[in-house]
Amino acid sequence: MNRAHNAVQAQKGLELALKYFSNITIDLIYGTPGLSNEKWQQNVEKALALKIPHLSCYALTIEPQTPLDKLIRQHKKDDVDPEVQSEQFVLLMRWLRAAGYEHYEISNFAQPGFRSRHNSSYWQGKPYAGIGPSAHSFNGTERQWNIANNQQYISAIEKGIRPVGKRSTNPGTAGQ
C-alpha cells in the first residue's frame, strides 16, 4: 500500500494513542489483491484485541495514476476481485456484530456510545476539524483538506505554514 510505516509501528502508535484518548478510530481496507479471508480475519481480530472503539472499513479502490494502478496495468499485481471484496465485507459484518459493534453507516462500525462525531457532523453539515495529512475540515461555509503527502505536511508545519492543500466553498465538492 506504499505506506510510510509498517505494521509494528502502526500498532505501537495505536497503543500510544489509546493511553491518551478513549475514542479513536482506525481505517481497515479489505479486498486488496492477495488478501486472504484468514489474513483479513487476523487484521480485524488485531483491532478487536486492541479494543479500538470505532472502525471505518473500506473496500480497496484503485485510483488512476497510482503506483498500484500501474502495477495492475502491467500485470505485476492482481486486480481487485469484487467477489472477494463482497465476501470479506460480509465476514466483517458478521465478526463485528458478534463483537458487539453497531454497523451505523455503510463503512462504519462502533462500540455502543462510540459513533464517530466527525462522521455525524459531516453528514449533518456541522463544522468539524480534520488534523493530519489528507484530513478534511469544514468551518460551516468552506471545506478544506490538508496536503496528503506526509513529508510536505510535516515540512509545512515546521515552517509555521498551515498545510492546507485545497479549499472549496461548494459543500457538495468535499473530498473531490
CA distance 35 to 84: 9
Q: Could you tell me the pTM of the whole model?
A: 0.76
Arithmetic mean of pLDDT, 30-40: 95
CA distance 69 to 152: 23
pLDDT number for residue 128? 84
End-to-end CA distance of the chain, in Å? 21
Mean of the per-residue pLDDT values of the chain = 89
pLDDT number for residue 2? 60
Strands 25-30 and 54-59: parallel
**Is the pLDDT assigned to residue 172 strictly greater than 60?**
no
C-alpha cell at 87: 465476501
Arithmetic mean of pLDDT, 125-142: 86
**Is the pLDDT assigned to residue 168 strictly greater than 80?**
no
C-alpha cell at 159: 515552517
Band (51; pLDDT cuts 50, 70, 90): very high
Most confidently modeled of 109-113, 129-133, 161-165?
109-113
Strands 54-59 and 102-105: unpaired
| Domains of the chain, start order | 7-115 (3.30.750.200), 124-173 (no CATH)
For the stretch 95-118, pLDDT in tens is 999 999 999 999 999 999 999 877
Q: Tell me the helices (H) and strands (E) count for the chain, helix number first.
A: 6, 7
C-alpha cell at 107: 463503512
For the stretch 68-83, pLDDT in tens is 899 999 999 999 999 9
Arithmetic mean of pLDDT, 62-70: 90
pLDDT number for residue 95? 98
Q: Would you say 65 and 75 are in contact if contact means Cβ atoms under 8 Å apart? A: no
